[in-house]
Structure 1
Amino acid sequence: MPNTQFYQRREQLLQSMQANSICLIPAADHVTRSRDTEYTFRQDSYFQYLCGFPEPQAWLVLSNHPNYKKSLSVLFCLDKDPLAEVWQGRRYGPKQAKRQFVIDMAFALDELEEKLLDLLDGHDNLYFAQGHNDEADEMVFSLMQSLREAPKQSMLPPNTLIDVRTILDEMRLIKSPAELDIMRQAAAISIDAHKRAMLFAEDGKNEYHLEAEIHHEFAMQGAKNPAYGTIVGSGDNACILHYTENNQVLKNGDLVLIDAGCELQGYAADITRTFPVSGKFTQAQAQLYQLVLDAQLASFELIKPGNTLKQATDLAVRIITQGLLDLAILQGELDDNIRRQTYRQFFMHGLGHWLGLDVHDVGIYKIDGQERPLQPGMVLTIEPGIYIAPDATVAEKWQGIGIRIEDNLHVTETGYENLTQACPKTIAEIEDLMQSTNQTNCES
């Protein structure tokens, strides 16, 4: 991501803020895994969006105070420390960070509280994400109290606190060309990982073998981490929406549902595919699978500017409900079943969500109580599913089948771009891919 992009975002935020305002954005910190070990560091999404600085324990300060000739950006970060860097890795330090990330001023983190007192003084408004970071909350409100208690020094804290997320969430919802390029790369890597898992799957392998294949493909292409906990659910494990144990043996005759996407430069991909362990769908599996696919493809046609996600959801629900009636899994009239939401025992989640720096990305879905129209630059998932529990009161042939198909769509000026189109999805595509591997294995 070019530094000009971060600069433009900061300027857009400053222009959206009220006059004489200051904004404070804290970076993420390390998270303890156990005793003295930590999880792999992942930068806070808001901080990443505005700055791109990759280290923990940093702060970004932005101001449009009228006394400044132009807007002001200030970074506080860990200072250079040769001994600490031997143990913990290299640091930019303030001088290099100022140059590298096109920041007006940069200081060592141990100067933060003292300099923030001066920076906060005299601003009318403070933009801050209260409740997003407990430690940051505590420090900011302590500084505000210190300013209130220093009238003799003629220091005044901002008198209005405004949630900066109301601006940033709207900015993040519309992706720039540079962001879309990264998301296309993340999608391409994730597609290769899903195909690799399909090719590797066979009777007797374990779910965690497929998870390992997926993560290996991510890492080999430069995406060191998944965007979320990878789901590999075979058999009736696919009916558990957030199944992550991934420790059961694959069996011929079962389907396996994989929900996995890599994270690249902070941006998530989110793909779900469902396929047969044997490489061949049974008749019952194929009937349910085609129903889910039909619902997805029909809902795609409503993904265009001016339409809403609710419209696409309603269509998918209608198609799935009618299909369940046709298969005698549901009984009665279509409209009555939709009204009573009988389908929710088999399709119990939403049709999709925003996608970006977070896998469930920021952005409101309604405006003034009305469904939000889609706009060019939005990226969302479309993921219908059918999940029939092993103890459901349906014919035995349907029991224990879980299916979800998920793609990542970029809303364009005239419709949509499917970022994950190249991931095999039709019954024929999946069976051809898997049967070609099985044939190769037999010949070898």
Structure 2
Amino acid sequence: MARIGGEEYEARQAAMRRLAAQAGFRGVVAWSRGGAAQDHYAGVYYLTGFYQHQPFVPDLPGRWRAQGHAAVVLPVDGPALLLTGDGTVQEPGPAARVRAAPDLVDALAEQLRAAIPPGRVGLIGCEAMSAPWWCRLRSVLPGHELVGADDLAWTARRVKSPAELDLMRAAGVLGVRAMTAARGAATPGVTEAEVAAAAIAEIVRAGGAYYGMGISSGTESHTFAASDPAPYSGRPLSAGDLLRIDLYGSVHGYLFDLARTWVVGAEPTIEQRRLLDAVRDAVHAGIEVLRPGLQVGQVARRCQEVFERSAFVTHHGMPESELGGAWGHGLGLSFEPPWVAADGRDAGEVIEAGMCLALERRIAMPAVGGASYEDDVIVTDSGPEVVTAEPVE
């Protein structure tokens, strides 16, 4: 599987410089967290292709600070510099000069003074910047005003390049393979953990990165996952159980995010069929209308209309939304805008070819059970391309 080439990273950095200048910034800092999770890595990875695998450890004054993080300093009129805790990197190396910095915060302050004139500096990755580090930077950089600028990253990553779309397709294929492996393992007597292991093994074997999952079954299928660091339990599955899985991972950083629900070892009951049909049919209805020029809110309203007409809602009434009223989100290097809702800040956003959306719905009713359905879709000039569709047998 091909990776993003150096020329594309250079083009991304040039585009980010232009966005920064238009916003009145002297430059930007992309701050990312690495380690075992893919929660806040996208800013640095998008600009340089670098992921920091060192896990987070608490600061130790005089020895290290912000271990498990990385930063890119990008002046509007100068080259990018990557700051990381370890300057020794494997090939292919990052698309930027690299400097090792055990104390990442003070090294960042030093580089900002050297490379960016005093003034406003956009900070991408605000959620990964802890308060003590932010306060330290403000105290030692009185002439530089750090301003939250995550919207610049969302703008830059909103429409994917052809190379990115190929990675999204590869990720979708891998996600379906992993979910298929989970379904094949889900037989009566097998535990949730064993089902999860089948999915994870398929991802790792194919060279992908496992990110996480929510899995629940039977009497607990209305919950997202076990209340434990492991998102699966040792509960054995029984014939007739609902099994609900929301699974996410990546190929070279680009995510798949899909959810499926099925009945273990038996045909669905009438009540279970109503549950399964409601989530699947509503999501499919939204996918069918995805076209360039449509507003995000219109997609959400189409999903809602079909859901409200479902047999499940007819018999049980409208359940509370498990997603804050949203029917999905943008997808790429992270779960990101636009948020597919009928109202709110993204409802009026116009969909463009090259965007990738994950449309989803989760129902949770303790007396009935729980179900999820989610697909990843690339928007093309000719309509939706579902990258997580199961192969036709």
TM-score class, shorter-chain normalisation, is 0.7 to 0.9
Amino acid at match of 1:128: L
Aligned to 2:278: 291
Amino acid at match of 1:307: L
Task: Say which of 373, 383, 387 aligns to 1:415.
Answer: 383
Q: CA deviation at 1:318?
A: 2.4
Aligned to 1:118: 114
Aligned to 1:144: 141
Aligned to 2:333: 357
Q: CA deviation at 1:3?
A: 1.9
Aligned to 2:63: none
Q: CA deviation at 1:115?
A: 4.3
Given the alignment of the two structures, is residue 59 of structure 1 paired with residue 71 of structure 2, yes or no?
yes
Given the alignment of the two structures, is residue 127 of structure 1 paired with residue 144 of structure 2, yes or no?
no
Q: CA deviation at 1:383?
A: 1.5
CA distance in 2, matches of 1:286, 1:114: 61
**C-alpha offsets along residues 382-438 of structure 1, whole Å, 9 cap, x if unaligned?**
113443322xxxxxxxx33x22221001111232110111268xxxx7xxxxxxxxx
Could you say what secondary structure the match of 2:80 adopts? strand
CA distance in 1, matches of 2:346, 2:202: 43
Could you say what secondary structure the match of 1:387 adopts? strand
Aligned-CA RMSD value: 3.1
Q: CA deviation at 1:367?
A: 8.4
Aligned to 2:238: 251
Retained in 2: the 8 A contact 1:187–1:261? no
CA distance in 2, matches of 1:311, 1:109: 48
Amino acid at match of 2:113: L
**C-alpha offsets along residues 259-302 of structure 1, whole Å, 9 cap, x if unaligned?**
11222222221111111111522333224323333222222222
Distance 1:57 1:312, change over 3 A: closer
Aligned to 1:4: 7
Which one has the bigger strand percentage? 2
CA distance in 1, matches of 2:26, 2:217: 53
**C-alpha offsets along residues 108-147 of structure 1, whole Å, 9 cap, x if unaligned?**
4269344432223x344312245541254234213313xx
CA distance in 2, matches of 1:347, 1:422: 24
Could you say what secondary structure the match of 1:46 adopts? helix
Q: CA deviation at 1:364?
A: 6.4
Could you say what secondary structure the match of 1:361 adopts? strand
CA distance in 2, matches of 1:42, 1:241: 18
Q: CA deviation at 1:106?
A: 4.3
Retained in 2: the 8 A contact 1:172–1:362? no
Retained in 1: the 8 A contact 2:295–2:351? yes
Given the alignment of the two structures, is residue 165 of structure 1 paired with residue 142 of structure 2, yes or no?
no
Aligned to 2:183: 198
Which one has the bigger helix percentage? 1
Amino acid at match of 1:21: R
Amino acid at match of 1:133: M
Distance 1:350 1:24, change over 3 A: closer
Q: CA deviation at 1:239?
A: 1.2
Structure 1: 5+ residue runs without aligned partners?
31-38, 66-70, 81-90, 146-156, 331-341, 391-398, 430-444
Distance 1:423 1:288, change over 3 A: farther
Distance 1:315 1:265, change over 3 A: same
TM-score (norm. length: structure 1): 0.72
Q: CA deviation at 1:58?
A: 3.7
Distance 1:196 1:245, change over 3 A: closer
Retained in 2: the 8 A contact 1:303–1:416? yes
Q: Matched residues, percent identical?
A: 22
CA distance in 1, matches of 2:283, 2:191: 29
Structure 2: 5+ residue runs without aligned partners?
53-67
Q: CA deviation at 1:251?
A: 0.9
TM-score (norm. length: structure 2): 0.81
Q: CA deviation at 1:246?
A: 2.9
Asked which structure has the greater CA Rg, the reply is: 1
Distance 1:27 1:259, change over 3 A: closer
Aligned to 2:194: 209
Could you say what secondary structure the match of 1:72 adopts? coil
